[in-house]
Amino acid sequence: MIANAFSTSATKPSLESLIRLLALLAGVALLVVGLLFPLVAMLVKSLQDRAGDFIGLANFAQYFQTPALVNSIANSLRVALMTTVAVVGLAFVCAYGITRTCMPGKRLFRMLAILPILAPSLLPAISLVYLFGNQGFLRDVLAGHSIYGPIGIVIGMSFWIFPHALMLLTTALTNSDARLYEAAEALGIPKWRTFLTITLPGVRYGLISCLFVVFTLAITDFGVPKIIGGQFSVLATDVYRQVVGQQNFQMGAVVSVILLLPAVLSFIVDRWIQRRQVAQLSARAVPWQPTANPLRDWIFALLCYTVAGVILLVIGTAVYASLIQFWPYNLSFTLEHYTFQGMADGGWGAWFNSLKLAFSVALVGTLVIFFNAWLIEKSEGYRPLRQGLHFMAMLPMAVPGMVLGLAYIFFFNQAGNPLNWLYGTMAILVLNTLVHFYTVCHLTSVTALKQLDPEFEAVGASLKVPFWITFSRVTLPVSLPAVLDISVYLFVNAMTTVSAVVFLYNSDTRLASVAVLHLDEAGYFASAAAMAVLIFLTSLVVKLLHAVLTHVLLNNAQRWRLAG
Amino acid sequence: MHTTMTSLLAADSPAVMTPTTPHLRINTVTKRFGSFTALDGISLTINEGEFVCFLGPSGCGKTTLLRTIAGLTKQTTGTLIQRGNDISALPTQARDFGIVFQSYALFPNLTVFNNVAYGLRNRRVDRAHIHARVAELLALVNLTGSETKYPAALSGGQQQRVALARALATEPGLLLLDEPLSALDARVRGHLRSQIKALQARLGVTTIMVTHDQEEALTMADRIVVMNHGVIEQVGTPAEIYHQPASAFVASFIGSMNFLDVTVQGSTQALVGSTPCACLPHTLASGQAAQLAIRPETVALSRDGGALKGEVVGIEFLGPFQRVTLHLTEADQTLIADVPSRDSSDLDLYVGQTLAIHLPAEAARLYPAGSSHQ
């Protein structure tokens, strides 16, 4: 019996499981090099002096003794909290309008509401300067307050974070159980009590999750405070100022570590909530359908279209600003700003670099992330490796772009790092962007894969078909909608991101989003607006292409979906 | 059609096998998931060409055993020998079997043709051969003409047959069926049951089917393996399992069964209350508490005579027979008797009536007390 127990426990390694193991190791290596090592390098840097000697927490002590730096913590918390309240409140009203009323033009509103995601966060900041700045045509609305500072930051952030919150809350509010509402009605419960006792508890997890996502986005954003913050400094701009302005890398690392804390905290809370949310809605729930109520419907329509109007106003302002000679003195039409004379090497090169980056990340990222998710979800054995990979795939969500970018400098620019050659190349920008936006894509992949029949792989194996053939002939085509979603998500984010890559470009790989920043710093405001608009339009075109492609694929190449 | 079958048969069994040639030997296979033991020292031999059912309640380990045979689950200890080769450590791809899952796991983006041809394509056989083979298989499962359809356009029963054709395409020596009928509605299920059985008999492919449906097992299997809590309770033909259940669990799991609390009295007798009743020989000690198991259809009722009396407390009309619930007056226990409809008129059954009960000795088995819990 004992001899028997030993003889059967070992499995002969087959070629397939060897390839699987190598693929898993490659996935792990990618995230170890692209995420863990840089973060460790950054943590180490925060404990060293300029000469590279270990000095314990001396940098942190110095940080907390410098009022100018410590103030940023309170500033960051303040604007992030204000943004959170504003965005979540507004998004909840709009999401309620979409899901729980019969307001007219829901589809149009949803399309308009998503537009801010396609622009870099620098765009609303630039528009706000035109609207409310010293020469702004709505300047008087602020009643003497300056747009440069917390007011501008909160409005700008609210603009580009709004779509994220709207999507999360729409999803939360869509899951409703009509039976509860019918029961309440039968019992004669007043509407306001129904709202408090059924609607709100039903969305509580979605709401809390949304609060934390919005807070994290707000506290880590760099673009908006950089453009419109003026003298009002926040943590994200401090990192930039310490590193790029004062070349004080140690202090940059210290601020990064501090910036990491709220993000990690909200990440943990979000994970905890996600775990509790499971099976909140029973399978027998009947979706609730709103019935027409003209007064309510038109009130919500009015509110939603006011929001949509503001979104169009902000984008329209940037477009307008990029097309006129010189605000507010010469309002004649011109395309001159699209020649980007403020940039020595021309702005179109930067735009082309961004395009290259976005396509590379969309292509490489989609395949790598989806395949890694497949390895985690659909393969047997190597459990510790798969769990480790999953854990690392979840981490990037908790790492702000500024922190990741700076961490890359510390790790890849180290003397003696064999990967040093990557520094300053397009490859490092691709790697950085891929890792930066890894988590959402990973979660999308996992969700899509979980919906597939768990026995596809077993059937393939029983028919002696290698796993990579079943992956490419079945798993990938069946998951195509999710795969396309991931690729367009990566494309748009690669196009618009500025926080991480601002530390990593060199003169050959300058990106469009970074160019917006430089044009703005150099005083070429109209050109900055033009570049931001160019990024927005590029994302918009790709998003539309994606919509068309998805439509065509679902109707032709994916005929099988309609067969039933 | 005839040539079709011979070609399939020839591929499966190169030589004429006697029914007792072992195809698969399972030797003391144990599977633990953490502290939970799913399979506890399972030993079993499955013969060439046999149709074997693993039957048991959910969680009894039957699916785990099937997945272990397929290599989808690795046993903690124990060995598997297929046609003389030790396959214990082989990965799924290197084992010789075809499988049909409960969900069928048809590839939704591939046509029926491509689903069935999935395993053939990989073998670098020429296109003409693949086409011929797929046509042959689809004819076998009565789906000729459905080649270009997608799975979603097929009914549940049709999908099931495509899955069967796909599993048989590569001419496996062993066919594994994991609850293949449970996702279908009752009428289709009954029809497919006989179709699968006939197909299996024609092809002569060794088949293992997992099911929790005793009727399915009784009608389809050559031999049934009854499992509970990770161990085999009994292996036998359907008739053996039904008429000679080896344990109280098997007796209670298959068909309807009365269990009466009795006291053992001698080697062929037990006391129901204080009334002695004859039973089959057993090894329990005299004076011990035991359970007397007897099927409702073997219980005979009469208006008078006999020592055991019961009062009718309920009558259910079930078509071919009436199910009579009796309260044993003296022993204070409940007993069920199935009375054929043509006999019931003689009895003139009504609730409240007291009847004499005869428990035939050749149908009464004793089991140790407290062992019938499922």
Element (H, E) at B40: strand B36-47
- On the 0-12 / 13-18 / 19+ scale of CB atoms within 10 A, B58 is exposed
Q: Residue A143: what pLDDT?
A: 80
The strand pairing partners of B211, in sequence order, are: B55
Helix (H, G, I), strand (E, B) or coil at B270: strand
Is B89 close to A460, i.e. CB distance below 8 A? no
Is A463 close to B78, i.e. CB distance below 8 A? no
- pLDDT tier, B3 (very low <50, low <70, confident <90, very high otherwise): very low
Q: How far is B97 from chain A (nearest CA, A)?
A: 7
Helix (H, G, I), strand (E, B) or coil at A15: helix
Is 70 exceeded by the pLDDT of residue B213?
A: yes
pLDDT digits (tens, 9 = 90+) for A124-160: 999 999 999 888 888 888 888 889 999 999 999 999 9
- CA atoms within a 13 Å half-sphere pointing along the CA-CB vector of A470: 28
Count other C-beta atoms under 10 Å from residue A337's C-beta. 25
Q: Which residue of A has its CA nearest to B108?
A: A560
- pLDDT tier, B4 (very low <50, low <70, confident <90, very high otherwise): very low
Check: CB of residue B251 under 8 Å from CB of residue B228. Answer: no
Which among B88, B89, B119 has the least Cβ separation from residue A465? Answer: B119
Q: Residue A78: what pLDDT?
A: 95
Helix, strand, coil % (nearest 5) of chain A?
75, 0, 25
Is 80 exceeded by the pLDDT of residue B201?
A: yes
Is 80 exceeded by the pLDDT of residue A213?
A: yes
Q: What is the mean pLDDT of residues A164-176?
A: 88
Tell me the domain boundaries of chain B.
2-250, 256-373
Q: Residue B190: what pLDDT?
A: 87
Is 60 exceeded by the pLDDT of residue B10?
A: no
Based on its alpha-carbon atoms, the radius of gyration of chain A, rounded to whole angstroms, reads: 25
- Measured over all CA atoms, what is the biggest interatomic distance in chain A, rounded to whole angstroms? 94
Which among A1, A16, A455 has the least Cβ separation from residue B103? Answer: A455
Comparison of pLDDT for A420 and B79, the residue scoring more: B79
Comparison of pLDDT for B70 and A9, the residue scoring more: B70
Is B169 close to A465, i.e. CB distance below 8 A? no
The strand pairing partners of B39, in sequence order, are: B31
- pLDDT tier, B19 (very low <50, low <70, confident <90, very high otherwise): low
Check: CB of residue A492 under 8 Å from CB of residue A535. Answer: no
Alpha-carbon torsion angle A481, A483, A484, A485, nearest 10: 90
Q: Which residue of A has its CA nearest to B175?
A: A462
Q: Residue B30: what pLDDT?
A: 96
Q: A561 CB near a chain B CB, below 8 Å?
A: yes
Check: CB of residue A399 under 8 Å from CB of residue A268. Answer: no
Tell me how far apart the alpha carbons of residues A456 and B109 are, in angstroms, rounded to a whole number: 12
Q: What is the mean pLDDT of residues A256-277?
A: 83
Q: How far is B211 from chain A (nearest CA, A)?
A: 18
Q: Residue A299: what pLDDT?
A: 95
Which chain B residues are closer than 8 Å to A477 by Cβ? 109
Is 50 exceeded by the pLDDT of residue B15?
A: no
Is B98 close to A463, i.e. CB distance below 8 A? yes
- A533 Cβ neighbours under 8 A, 6+ residues apart: A123, A318, A319, A322
Is 60 exceeded by the pLDDT of residue B143?
A: yes
Look up the CATH number of domain B256-373: 2.40.50.100
> Which residue do the tokens 């069926």 mark?
B177
Average pLDDT in chain B: 89
Check: CB of residue A243 under 8 Å from CB of residue A257. Answer: no
| Optimal mutation site among A463, A470, A475, A562, interface B, most CBs of chain B within 10 A | A463
Which among B72, B89, B108 has the least Cβ separation from residue A458? Answer: B72
Which among B77, B103, B150 has the least Cβ separation from residue A563? Answer: B150
Q: What percent of chain A has pLDDT over 70?
A: 94
ipTM of the prediction = 0.81
Q: How far is B259 from chain A (nearest CA, A)?
A: 38
Choose among A387, A439, A435, A385: nearest CA to A412. Answer: A435
Q: A559 CB near a chain B CB, below 8 Å?
A: yes
pLDDT digits (tens, 9 = 90+) for B302-327: 888 778 999 999 999 888 899 999 99
Query: What number of residues does chain A have?
Result: 564
- pLDDT tier, B136 (very low <50, low <70, confident <90, very high otherwise): very high
Count other C-beta atoms under 10 Å from residue A392's C-beta. 22
Tell me how far apart the alpha carbons of residues B143 and B224 are, in angstroms, rounded to a whole number: 30
- CA atoms within a 13 Å half-sphere pointing along the CA-CB vector of A553: 16
Which among B89, B93, B94 has the least Cβ separation from residue A10? Answer: B89
Strands B51-55 and B223-228: parallel
Is B28 close to A1, i.e. CB distance below 8 A? yes
Q: What is the mean pLDDT of residues A316-321?
A: 95
Q: A459 CB near a chain B CB, below 8 Å?
A: yes
- A221 Cβ neighbours under 8 A, 6+ residues apart: A121, A157, A161, A236, A499
Q: Residue A82: what pLDDT?
A: 96
Q: How far is A9 from chain B (nearest CA, A)?
A: 6
User: For B2-250, which CATH superfamily applies?
Assistant: P-loop containing nucleotide triphosphate hydrolases (3.40.50.300)
Average pLDDT in chain A: 89
- A470 Cβ neighbours under 8 A, 6+ residues apart: A456, A457, A459, A460
Is A462 close to B167, i.e. CB distance below 8 A? yes
Measured at the CA of B199, the angle between CA B193 and CA B203, to 5 degrees, comes to 150
Rounded to a whole number of angstroms, the distance between the first and last alpha carbons of chain A is 53
Check: CB of residue A517 under 8 Å from CB of residue A448. Answer: no
Helices A480-496, A426-436: axis angle to 10 degrees equals 120
Choose among B332, B331, B328: nearest CA to B301. Answer: B328
Is A463 close to B92, i.e. CB distance below 8 A? no
Q: B64 CB near a chain A CB, below 8 Å?
A: no
> Which residue do the tokens 């009002």 mark?
A232
Check: CB of residue A360 under 8 Å from CB of residue A547. Answer: no
pLDDT digits (tens, 9 = 90+) for A46-104: 999 888 888 989 999 999 999 988 999 999 999 999 999 999 999 999 999 999 999 99
Q: A474 CB near a chain B CB, below 8 Å?
A: yes
Check: CB of residue B337 under 8 Å from CB of residue B296. Answer: yes
| Optimal mutation site among B118, B124, B168, interface A, most CBs of chain A within 10 A | B118
- pLDDT tier, A206 (very low <50, low <70, confident <90, very high otherwise): confident
Q: Residue A284: what pLDDT?
A: 63
> Which residue do the tokens 């930066």 mark?
A436
